[in-house]
Amino acid sequence: MIRKLYPFPTLSVFLLLMWLLLSGFSAGHLVLGMVLATVLPLGTLPFWPNVPRLRNFHKLVLFVLMVHWDIIVANLSVARRILGSPKKLRPAFVEVPLDIKDDFAITLLTSTVSLTPGTVSADISADASRMLVHALHVEDEAVLVDQIKQRYERRLKEIFEC
């Protein structure tokens, strides 16, 4: 029964929090937010073909914190490269083979890669088995591939178990 009413519990909680952030906390908005958190996932149910179950919430939190840290660190190094001579840059298109199969997890992975400055995900192959990444400066492609796979992909795999 509860499962039917709330097909995506995490999404519902997220929507409620969003609503309270957007309109401020009050009893009325709490009720309205709860209505929205119930109605919106039900209404958009057909648009979500197969959503992976979130297995490890605390790992997701750790992942988000880690990505924020990486963004700050990478920002500093990219800022140095932009201010330095462009001739010293060693740009590259790097292909990263993907182990995760789930669409949502792949979206999260590409977003993470693009958010951390210095790398931008440029394309995903049609069968979702490879990702094309453009890097601002890379000494060794293998190291970059390894970093993306070990640091981000492995953790996403643990979070969603896909």
Partner 1 sequence: MDIVIEYITAIFLLIGGVFALIGSLGLVRLPDFFLRLHGPTKATTLGVGGTIMASLVYFSWTEHALHLHEILITLFLFISAPVSAHMLAKAAMHRELKYREDTRGKPWKQ
Q: Rule CB under 8 A: which residues touch partner 1?
A: 18, 21-22, 71-72, 75, 78-79, 82-83, 86, 89-95, 110-115, 117-118, 120-123, 125, 132, 134, 136, 138, 141
Task: Output 5 or 26, the one with its CB closest to partner 1.
Answer: 26
Q: How far is the CB of 126 from partner 1 (least distance, A)?
A: 10
Compute the distance between CA of residue 154 and CA of residue 111 in angstroms, rounded to an integer: 15
Which CB sits closer to partner 1, 5 or 17?
17
Question: Which CB atom, from 12 or from 112, has the smaller least distance to partner 1?
Answer: 112
Question: Could you tell me the smallest distance in angstroms from the CB atom of residue 6 to partner 1?
Answer: 22
Q: How far is the CB of 90 from partner 1 (least distance, A)?
A: 7
Annotate the chain with three-state secondary structure.
CHHHHCCCHHHHHHHHHHHHHHHCCCHHHHHHHHHHHHHHHHHCHHHCCCCCCCCCHHHHHHHHHHHHHHHHHHHHHHHHHHHCCHHHCCCEEEEEECCCCCHHHHHHHHHHHHHCCCEEEEEECCCCCEEEEEECCCCCHHHHHHHHHHHHHHHHHHHHCC
Q: Is the Cβ of residue 40 or residue 89 nearer to partner 1 in the bound state?
A: 89
User: Minimum Å distance from CB 108 to partner 1?
Assistant: 10
